[in-house]
C-alpha cells in the first residue's frame, strides 16, 4: 500500500464499566467492554469494525471520541495523545472528530429546524459570520442531496434516510478529519442503506475524510471498508485488508460470521458454521481465548492462554492459537 500516514492510533485501549451490587451498591466487578485493543487508522481510509452486540464496538467508538473516558491505554490523534485531555484541551480536537449515530431521529433535536441543527456547531465554534453560516448550511444540504428548503423544516418531516443525510451534513459542518459512524445505516431499509453508503463514499473523496465504520452487518462493512476489524468480547479477534478478511478469514469467529453471509458472486460455497451457545457476558469473560466456549477448533491451550494478535502476512493480524507456535 506504499507510504501511509496514520491519522489515529489506538494503543492497548481499555474501557471497563463498574458493576454495582449488594445493599451498599459497591463495585463487585467490571464489564470489560473494550479490553486491550490496539490498531491504527490511516488517512483517507475506511476501517470497518464488526461484531455482535456486546462485542464492545460502539464503546470503542465512543471512547476514541472521548465521549467516554478510557480506563487505560492511549488514543493518539495526528500524533497527539488525547486520551487524558481535559474537556477544555479536547475542544480543538472535537471539531476534527465527529460521529454519525445509528438513530438520526434520537440524535437530532426535534425542536430545532434542520437549518438550526446544521448551523449549531458553527455557532459554538464562532469562526464564521451569520451570512457565511447560512450559505454553508445550504451548501451542505446540497452535498448530502437535500434541497435548500429543507433548512426550515423539522426532523419529523423527513424519512429515515433523509434524516441520516441531515445527521451527516451536521457531522460535516466543521470540516472534520475523522468520522466515526456507529451503525449509521442499520436503522434504514436495505434500498436506502446503499444510497447512504454511496453518499458517504462520495463525501469521503470530496472532503478527504477518514472513516471508522462500526456495524454488525458484514455486507454493509464490505460495501464501504478498506480494512476490517472483527471484535469479540471487547477484543480484536482479527484485523486486515477487506479482501483478505472476506476471502481468507483466519480466525474461527470471522469464519463463522462470514459463513452466514450469502456470497452470490463466489464459486465455492461456504458451509454455514453454527456457533454453539450465547455470547458470554463481558463482565465474566471466559479464561484464555475469550472465544473458546463457542469455537469449533478450541483445544486445551485455548482455555488457559490468551492468544496475542499476531501478523500473518499481508497486513492480516489474528488472535488465535491455531496460528501461533507452542514455543515462545
Q: Which residues bind ligand SF4 (CB under 6 A)?
A: 251-252, 289, 291-292, 295, 297-298, 302, 307, 320-322
List Cα–Cα distances, 36 to 56, 142, 188, 307, 308, in angstroms: 11, 41, 32, 12, 11
- Name which of 279 and 322 has its Cβ closer to ligand SF4: 322
- Name which of 137 and 320 has its Cβ closer to ligand SF4: 320
60 neighbors 231 (Cβ within 8 angstroms): yes
- Name which of 158 and 291 has its Cβ closer to ligand SF4: 291
In angstroms, the CA 60 to CA 54 distance is 11
- Name which of 26 and 299 has its Cβ closer to ligand SF4: 299
* Shortest CB 321 distance to ligand SF4, Å: 4
* Shortest CB 31 distance to ligand SF4, Å: 21
- Name which of 194 and 281 has its Cβ closer to ligand SF4: 281
Q: What is the DSSP letter of 96?
A: T
In angstroms, the CA 133 to CA 139 distance is 10
In angstroms, the CA 52 to CA 171 distance is 26
- Name which of 168 and 256 has its Cβ closer to ligand SF4: 256
* Shortest CB 315 distance to ligand SF4, Å: 20
* Shortest CB 130 distance to ligand SF4, Å: 57
> Which one, of 134, 2, 6, 141, lies nearest residue 77 by Cα?
6
Q: In what order do the strands lie in the sheet with 46-50?
A: 97-100, 178-182, 210-215, 46-50, 227-232, 235-241, 317-318, 310-311
* Shortest CB 11 distance to ligand SF4, Å: 23
* Shortest CB 237 distance to ligand SF4, Å: 7
- Name which of 242 and 321 has its Cβ closer to ligand SF4: 321
The dihedral region occupied by 5, where left means phi > 0, alpha psi between -120 and 50, and beta the remainder, is beta
- DSSP, collapsed to helix, strand or coil, labels residue 175 as coil
The contacts of residue 307 (CB under 8 Å, 6+ apart) are 289, 319, 320, 321, 324
* Shortest CB 282 distance to ligand SF4, Å: 16
In angstroms, the CA 204 to CA 273 distance is 35
Amino acid at each position: 500500500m506504499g507510504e501511509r500516514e496514520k491519522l489515529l492510533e489506538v494503543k492497548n485501549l481499555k474501557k471497563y464499566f463498574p458493576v454495582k451490587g449488594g445493599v451498599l451498591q459497591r463495585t463487585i466487578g467490571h464489564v470489560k467492554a473494550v479490553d486491550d485493543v490496539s490498531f491504527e487508522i490511516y488517512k483517507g481510509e475506511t476501517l470497518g469494525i464488526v461484531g455482535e452486540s456486546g462485542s464492545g464496538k460502539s464503546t470503542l467508538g465512543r471512547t476514541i471520541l472521548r465521549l467516554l473516558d478510557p480506563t487505560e491505554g492511549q488514543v493518539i490523534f495526528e500524533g497527539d495523545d488525547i486520551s487524558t485531555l481535559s474537556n477544555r484541551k479536547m475542544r480543538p480536537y472535537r471539531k476534527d472528530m465527529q460521529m454519525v449515530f445509528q438513530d438520526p431521529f434520537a440524535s437530532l433535536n426535534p425542536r430545532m429546524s434542520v437549518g438550526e441543527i446544521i448551523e449549531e456547531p458553527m455557532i459554538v465554534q464562532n469562526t464564521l459570520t451569520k451570512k457565511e453560516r447560512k450559505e454553508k448550511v445550504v451548501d451542505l444540504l446540497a452535498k448530502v442531496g437535500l434541497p435548500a428548503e429543507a433548512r426550515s423544516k423539522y426532523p419529523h418531516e423527513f424519512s429515515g434516510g433523509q434524516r441520516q443525510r441531515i445527521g451527516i451534513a451536521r457531522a460535516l459542518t466543521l470540516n472534520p478529519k475523522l468520522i466515526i459512524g456507529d451503525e449509521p445505516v442499520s436503522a434504514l431499509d436495505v434500498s436506502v442503506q446503499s444510497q447512504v453508503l454511496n453518499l458517504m463514499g462520495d463525501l469521503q473523496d470530496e472532503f478527504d475524510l477518514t472513516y471508522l465504520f462500526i456495524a454488525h452487518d458484514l455486507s454493509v462493512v464490505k460495501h464501504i471498508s478498506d480494512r476490517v476489524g472483527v471484535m469479540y468480547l471487547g477484543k480484536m479477534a482479527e484485523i486486515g485488508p477487506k479482501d483478505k478478511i472476506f476471502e481468507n478469514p483466519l480466525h474461527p469467529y470471522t469464519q463463522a460470521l462470514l459463513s452466514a453471509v450469502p456470497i452470490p458472486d463466489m464459486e465455492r460455497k461456504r458451509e454455514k458454521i453454527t456457533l454453539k451457545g450465547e455470547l458470554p457476558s463481558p463482565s465474566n469473560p471466559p479464561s484464555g481465548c475469550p472465544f473458546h466456549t463457542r469455537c469449533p477448533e478450541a483445544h486445551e491451550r485455548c482455555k488457559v492462554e490468551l492468544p496475542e494478535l499476531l501478523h500473518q502476512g499481508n497486513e492480516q493480524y489474528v488472535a488465535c492459537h491455531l496460528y501461533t507456535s507452542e514455543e515462545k
